[in-house]
Amino acid sequence: MDTTHLIALQTRLSRERARFAADGSAIRKVWIAQIEKEIANEYAFLGMEVLPEMSDDELLRELEA
């Protein structure tokens, strides 16, 4: 299974989120939503399950369990 495109999308999303945190641009918010939708579509295309997003605290609790 080639996940190259998925990884590129996730990298792009991470960078756009960092830029949005720095400048709060409204257009970046739209771009982020579009990238998130594209990632969901890529997961479906690859037949992979989308994991729910977790906060850092939730993730730590899961790891400690």
3-state secondary structure the chain: CCCHHHHHHHHHHHHHHHHHHHHCCHHHHHHHHHHHHHHHHHHHHHCCCCCCCCCHHHHHHHHHC
Q: What is the pLDDT of residue 52?
A: 76
pTM of the model: 0.76
CB 42 within 8 A of CB 6: yes
The letter for the amino acid at 27 is I
Q: Could you give the number of structural domains in the chain?
A: 1
List, for residues 4-39, the tens digit of each pLDDT value: 999 999 999 999 999 999 999 999 999 999 999 999
The boundaries of the domain holding residue 42 are: 4-64
User: CA end-to-end span of the chain, whole Å?
Assistant: 31
